[in-house]
Structure 1
Amino acid sequence: MKKFYLIICLLVMAVSRLFAANSDTIRIPISRQYFHDKIAQEQNVCDRSDGKLDKSLHVSQNAEINLQVSDAVFRRISAAAMRVEANPLIEKNNDKIRYLSYIENLLKQFRINWRRRDFNPLDFPALMTHFEQAMELQVAGSSLLPLIRDLPYIQARILVDIFQDSQSPNAELSNSVYLKYCALYPDKILQTIRPYIREPFADSLVVAACRFDPVQLYTYAQSVSSPEGKLIHRNSDPMVMAVASLSQTPNALLYFPFLDDLLSGKQSIEQIRKLVGNGEKGYDSVGYYRLLVKTEIEYFRRLTQNPADTPVAMFGANGLREMLKAKALQHFITPINTLHDVNNLNVRMKAIDPLTAQEIYYMMVMGENDIYTSSYKHSFNRMLQKMGPNPRADSLLMSVHADFFKKFIKMAANYNKLDSFLKCMPPASSEVLMKAFVANLHKTGNLEDATDVADSYSSITDKKLLNSILDYVKQNEQVCIDENNQRGAVIYGLLKTIFLSADSAGKVDLTATLGISSIYEVYPRELQDDSGRIVQQVFFYGDEDGKMYFPGFLRSFSPKEWRVNLQKEWVEIRSLKGNVWIFANRPLDNDANLDDSAQVHLNKHIEDLGLQPSVVVHRGHSYWLPRTINRMPENSRIVVLGSCGGYKNLSQIIDVSPDAHIISTKEIGAGEINRPILNYLNQSMLSGKSIVWKDMWQSLGKVFAREPSKSLRESWEDYIPPYRNLGAIFIRAYNKKMESL
């Protein structure tokens, strides 16, 4: 094959030399030699695109295709230039220069679009043929439009760009290319239609855009005075008119989640308005939430049928799921969380009294990162009560088409309610459910489901259930091995190893078995920089909680051991003995974005000092966590979240700091717990001793066991030490394993 390819290359070079010899018979005036040289220069630039300057382009593994492309770039391009010189119909010097510029521009367009991956180099011979046809039409004074209409978009665009001064009206050529673009990229129609608004085809393109993405059309329709908005609102298509009308409806965002049903006629604006009112007066919060749940159940059924049917506005900004989550939080989770100190459950849980079991189910899964432990447990009990004297949990899951069932199982396991849930169904059904929970973890696009399984396992206490899950994991691993599915075998193999380690009888040392750094302790040298300093950075946020807990944070540093230096935007705390430095931004007003500025300036200050924090502490709600992750230093060794972890957050932290020991909680963190954790860590760093997580957890566990506040004791139970953070361990081990394959 190599010999064959070498022969082909030599033939191309020979043909090129032969042509060069023949071209000597055509006298090129010195006034135009410069333009021929520019073509030759472009040929050389193209030649270098594959890394070699050898008069041959290697654009595929097929030698014949490479020969055709090389022939087009070198011989055919040079021949076209000679034809310009020899063509008696191109008489004037300026005209010949113009046609030579066309050829040079063709090579430029080829090279640029190839580099952008907009053009497949394998198609250059065909493009060259169409270019030659366009040249002939141009010389003859004929229109290029018939040729352009028959070409694919990218070739048509390139040729129209080259022959901008053709005999054809520019508008017609431009319109033809734009229509090809819209057919190829219907999602770009509304972004690009403004120059074509007065064209006859504009209305039909709006209809096409609406069919493809009504959500995008809705967004553009909201601006009635914009050119796009005017174009949309003049359209007579029923679907476009419905979306346009909705965009101008008062409190339109409350109607938007039902856009698919509105378009199909299953619901009407008048029906929804009875629940929405004017957004405040006449608004039925329970009725509206109930409609969201009912719609979610139906939409999910359509989504999982074969073939799948994705409802409009189910996902994305202001879509059904986003609104369902927002209303679950606003009307139910926040009220019962706020009353967490109220002992009378009839008072505390009154907000969810009107809800059905299905509606409570969705409230809980939508509030995963926000619902308090006690709120979840009481809601779970209410859900079972709503199912009647003989609740059937499997019937509940069937009624919602198993929507979010993996998330529900994970939460039930985390809050020690999974056993109760499974007992509300026949053993055969629970077996099927747990098999489904563990199944197909390798078929998703990420590790979220597998991480949920790992997290859930660490929360389950029922030995029989643990053994069943472990057996299912082993079965799936074997299936993946038999099917030669490497990713699946890795996922299930790691879960098996991690689960065996969670059983003390298994005596599995994950550090040695998985080849990851220790998850059981942190040595002082791992935290110290080259100068022996341990640097800690604490991220505060300027909401009410941040402002409330910051003074207590400062008071926790005894003047006998620490020197506190308050700055305008941050505080610097240094140990009087040892070498521990702590930096924390002040929780300045969040509404004015001052806390954000303080963090940016503090990061710059730490960088200017040449320091690299090895300990990162997040003191804020889970919705602030992405900002902390974006600003946390690389290769941190200890990360204290003080809020819910979750797959996305854990994955991002491990991407930044692969060996981080992560302390997180299943629910919203408590300042009264975060403070003792930080005090323990700081004292350990001052002493120069290793931080042994099991010892630390045992010590703090004794402290909180004596805590008179029941809610605080419950909150402590939800904190997860690094050696029990199976989700984080799984992600670390998976990344390590895949690197080695």
Structure 2
Amino acid sequence: MPIFVTYMFKVIYTCLFVFTVLSQSSAQQTDSIPPIPAMRQLHHEYIHRSFEAIRLYPAKQFQLTNDELLVSEKLIKQLRSKIELSTEIDNNAKYTWLRGVNDLLTAYYTNYQNGKTPVTRLPFLLQTFQVAMNEHLSGGSIAPLMNKLDLESAIILTENFTLSSNRGMQAAKDSIVVKQCDRNPTKILPILFRNPATASADSLIILAAFRDPEELYSYAAAPNALGKKIQSVNHPFVKLVARLSLTSTGRMYFPFLDQLYTGKLKMDSITRFVGNDTSTGYFSLLVSTRIDYAKRIQQGDTPMAAKVLYNKLKTKSIELYINEINALHNERSDFVRFKSIRKLSPQELYYLAVTGEEEMYTSSFVNGVYPRIFAAMKNPRSDSLLSMVNRDQYKKFIKIAAAYNKLDDFLSKMDKKDAEQLMRGFVNGLEQTTSLEDAVDVADSYSSVYNPLLKKLMLNQVRLELNRCNEIKNKRGQVIYDLLETIFSSLEPTSKIDLSVKLGIMPIYELPNNYLKDSETGRVVMQQFFYGDKDGMVVFNAFLNKFRNANWRITKKSQWVEVSSRIGTPITIYANLPLDETEDLDAASQDSLIEYLHSQSLHPSVVIHRGHSYYLNQTVKKMPSSAKLVLLGSCGGYQRLNEVLEIAPGAHIISSKQIGTGIINQGLINVISEELRLGKNLKWPSLWNSLAIRFSGNAKEKFDDYVPPYKNLGAIFITAFNTYMQQEN
């Protein structure tokens, strides 16, 4: 709520409250304080000091107005007067009630300091205490009064020791538990853990069960008061979860919770797989259940524990299949390597791809999973495949196919009209998600579409979506689609758009030599990450051999080598030794080099990954934020754009869509280092064209899968979006 509106509500509320209290006080009781016995004067002084502390405390947003101070002071006097004059309260009890008034003020003061209680709540709190005091002295219950209060006021009053013996105290505390759960619906069970005997426990447990059955499962299994309470709740869904929590294999049934509750599955149909969860049967049941859930979700339903099922499906995909086919990446025979997935259905292979995206090696997808999807189909059509899985995760599959250069092939396996409709859906509604992932996927995928008609369709759809967002004034959508429209249009043959100027980002067609130099030393520092497998040692030696000439000097250290230019621009290439990976010696050599660079205040501006894709995470985690050019020439490197740009915003990235090769990587390093040594800027279009004519045959095909910085559309989009947001802020 805007501050001005809040203030106006405060003024209106105060005027009404002041008028009510002043008129009631004049008619009902005196504000004058009777003579106070010396033995109780100190307690009255405590009350006065507490009120003064409130009066003088610096306001965080609004101070108590003069009227509010007047009302509060009047109410405090009424309370003190009532206590001293009351014939219902004996002398000992008068001490107790005076202490209660002071405790009320100190509790309010503490809550206000901690931002829990608005400053305007004081007059209301004091008047409510009067009512509660009267109710208590007459033998009544304060519970109905607490039910009507806000949470903070109810807590302050129920924690006031003067009311602790009230006959309605337990009911009042129960109402507080309900208020806490209403305010924090994601914390119902932690709240009940502290209050397991509350009267509303059963209904609150049922609410928690449907909100997060997995959390209920954990609490139900505990041998404590709340666990026992959950086990006693007479509700079919709670009883099902509670029953599973007491079995050692309950987690295996949990992904099918919705099906079990609705009676679509029986326990026995799952039990036969539970003893052997490595079986294809359990994985198949996960897949078929996920497909059913996908249809229900599209119809607006919300299957219970759907996230649990998807996570279990992902875990089993990786454990049972992906880890094995990845581990056999050096196996020459595809028959041997992909034996474990030979009998999987097209749907099951599809879910291997979408759930194992982050773990799967390029060759595992390109040579194994993808071709076997269609080989397992009687009628190998892409639209049939998507229908078989109820189009679940289809945008992710399109992204994966694009990342591995299989999108054109995938789209060619369906009718042209269906392919166009699919890609329209891929482009639509990008503003509706909270992350940029879908928009980046669209940008990346565009560069992998080689069919000119399909590229035109995607560009036109982006323009339609931009118009739609402009009409409804959706700012996020306007930014996303405007950036995509600009980036895609710049790739048109007749385009004269300079993306660097248009998007307000660093030049993407050129990387200036001076930009890569260290500001203090004037030296270009490059860092390569090598790994100690068999291939790593071969590639490392090939790297050194390319620099054994008059232009370069090689210096060997115990953990790394330094390759420095003798003439031209000062350049030093640091590369860790590819020591034995089985003992993590390669990781130790990398760490040793990083520590040395840090100690010498050397900041690498060029970072190069020289290992397989399964080492890439390690390189990215250790990559310095000073990187301005990053070469990810490994399998799957194209999918790591986001991670790299989070570490080194605006960095130019060279990546491979498919299997990176040592020959291509070394060729890139040779050209880049030589251009920099000669003092030239890295002009990507001309540099890329010169590289293209150096490779032929199989090497040329591999080079064509490398993406230069000016065509790395996902990276350009992320950089442009972040730049725009920084300017807006």
Shorter chain as denominator, the TM-score bin is 0.7 to 0.9
Aligned match of 1:44: 56
Give the drift of 1:652.
5.0
**1:167 aligned to 2:150?**
no
1:482 is matched with which residue? 471
Residue 516 of structure 2 corresponds to which residue in structure 1? 527
1:136-175 equivalences under 5 Å are 136-137=134-135, 143-163=141-161, 166-168=164-166, 173-175=172-174
Give the alignment of 1:276-675 within 5 angstroms. Answer: 276-279=274-277, 283-285=278-280, 287-305=281-299, 308-315=300-307, 319-338=308-327, 346-378=335-367, 379-389=369-379, 391-534=380-523, 549=536, 553=540, 556=543, 561-566=553-558, 571=560, 573=562, 575=564, 577=566, 579-580=570-571, 609-617=600-608, 632-634=623-625, 636-642=627-633, 644=636, 650-651=641-642, 653-666=644-657
CA drift of 1:387 comes to 3.5
Q: Is the 8 A contact 1:535 1:611 kept in 2?
A: no
Provide structure 1 residue ranges, at least 5 long, that are not aligned to the other structure: 57-69
Which residue of 2 is the match for residue 60 of structure 1?
A: none
Q: Structure 1 residue 6: deviation in Å?
A: 13
After TM superposition, list the pairs within 5 Å mapping 1:5-16 onto structure 2.
none
Aligned to 1:734: 721
Partner Cα separation in structure 1 for residue 171 and residue 132 of structure 2: 15
TM-aligned CA distance change 1:182 to 1:55, over 3 Å: closer
The aligned amino acid for 2:236 is P
Q: Which amino acid in structure 2 is aligned with residue 460 of structure 1?
A: V
How far did residue 728 of structure 1 move? 1.1
CA deviation profile, 1:610-656 (whole Å, cap 9, x unmatched): 45443445567778767766665545422344564677x54454344
Which whole-Å CA distance do the structure 1 matches of 2:361 and 2:159 have between them?
61
1:120/1:535 CA distance change after superposition, 3 Å: farther
1:542-585 Cα shifts (integer Å, max 9, x gaps): 9x75x973795588456862434446xxx584736565566778
| Residue 112 of structure 2: aligned partner | 111
Superposed displacement of residue 324, structure 1: 2.2
Question: Is 1:690 matched with 2:681?
Answer: yes
Q: Deviations over 1:116-139 (max 9, x none)?
A: xx5566766655543443344456
- Cα distance in 1 for residues equivalent to 2:196 and 2:527: 53
| Deviation of the 1:34 alpha carbon | 5.0
Larger displacement relative to structure 2 (493-502 or 685-694): 685-694
Cα pair distance change 1:495/1:96, threshold 3 Å: same
Q: CA deviation at 1:400?
A: 2.3
Closer/same/farther in 2, CA of residues 686 and 645 from structure 1, 3 Å limit: same
Indicate how the Cα distance of structure 1 residues 27 and 432 shifts in structure 2: closer, same or farther if over 3 A, else same.
Answer: farther
Cα distance, 1:10–1:277 mapped onto 2, change above 3 Å: closer
8 Å contact kept, 1:43–1:107: no
SS at match of 1:469: helix
Identity %: 36
2:553 counterpart letter in structure 1 = E
1:336 CA drift (Å): 4.4
For 1:220 and 1:735, locate their aligned partners in 2 and report how far apart those are by CA, in whole Å: 42
Cα pair 1:438 1:472 within 8 Å, conserved: yes
Q: Distance in 1 between matches of 2:286 and 2:423?
A: 28
Residue 369 of structure 1: SS of its match in structure 2?
coil
Distance between the aligned counterparts of 2:132 and 2:614, measured in 1?
58
**1:77·1:103 contact (CA, 8 Å) conserved in 2?**
no
Equivalents in 2 of 1:278, 1:380: separation in Å?
27
Q: SS state of the match for residue 555, structure 2?
A: strand
Q: Flag the 1:238–1:397 CA change in 2: closer, same or farther, 3 A.
A: same
Distance 1:343 1:33, change over 3 A: closer
Q: Which is worse superposed, 689-698 or 724-733?
A: 689-698
Query: Would the alpha carbon gap of residues 8 and 445 (structure 1) be closer, same or farther in structure 2, given more than 3 Å must change?
Result: closer
Write out per-residue CA displacement over residues 81-134 of structure 1, whole angstroms, 9 at most, x where no aligned residue: 222332223756744651342342243254145x2xx55667666555434433
Q: Deviations over 1:394-451 (max 9, x none)?
A: 3332332221122222333344433333333333322222221111112222222111
Q: Does 1:216 align with 2:215?
A: yes
**2:100 is the alignment partner of 1:99:** yes
Count, aligned residues: 696
Alignment of 1:722 with 2:709, yes or no, is: yes
CA distance in 1, matches of 2:330, 2:473: 54
Q: Rate the CA distance shift 1:483–1:40 in 2: closer, same or farther, 3 A.
A: same
Q: CA 1:589–1:124 in 2, change beyond 3 Å: closer, same or farther?
A: farther
Paired amino acid for 1:325: K
Cα distance change on mapping 1:609 and 1:506 into 2, 3 Å: same
**Is contact 2:50–2:106 with CA below 8 Å preserved after alignment?**
no
1:48 match: secondary structure: coil
Deviates more, 1:320-329 or 1:493-502: 320-329
Residue deviations 1:163-209, cap 9 Å, x none? Answer: 47633376554444223323443432332433434566555544443
TM-score by length of 1: 0.79
Q: Which consecutive unaligned segments of at least 5 residues does structure 2 have?
A: none
Note closer, same or farther for the CA distance 1:41–1:623 as it changes in structure 2 (3 Å cut).
Answer: farther
Q: Match of 1:505, SS?
A: coil
Name the SS for the 1:662 alignment partner: strand
User: Is contact 1:250–1:278 with CA below 8 Å preserved after alignment?
Assistant: no
Tell me the secondary structure at the aligned position of residue 408 of structure 2.
Answer: helix
Q: Which whole-Å CA distance do the structure 1 matches of 2:581 and 2:149 have between them? A: 55
For the Cα contact (< 8 Å) 1:635–1:657, is it kept in 2?
A: yes
CA contact (8 A) 1:194 1:228 kept: yes
Deviation of the 1:333 alpha carbon? 3.9
Partner of 1:49, secondary structure, is coil
Question: Any conservation in 2 of the 1:666–1:719 contact (CA below 8 Å)?
Answer: yes
Equivalent AA in structure 2 for residue 731 of structure 1: I
Q: Which residue of 1 aligns with 2:72?
A: 77
Tell me the equivalent position of 2:258.
Answer: 260
In the alignment, is the contact (CA less than 8 A) between 2:202 and 2:233 conserved in 1? yes
Report if aligned partners of 1:109, 1:158 keep a CA contact under 8 Å in 2. no
Q: What is the root-mean-square deviation in Å for CA atoms of aligned residues?
A: 4.5
CA separation of 1:5 and 1:84: change in aligned 2, threshold 3 A? closer
Alignment partner of 2:59: what SS? Answer: helix
SS of residue in 1 equivalent to 2:314: helix
Q: Does structure 2 retain, via aligned residues, the 8 Å contact 1:549–1:671?
A: no
Q: Distance in 1 between matches of 2:583 and 2:54?
A: 54
Q: Which whole-Å CA distance do the structure 1 matches of 2:573 and 2:74 have between them?
A: 72
Deviation at 1:328, TM superposition (A): 3.0
Please report the TM-score for the alignment, with normalisation by the length of structure 2. 0.80
8 Å contact from structure 2 (residues 633, 655) kept in 1: yes
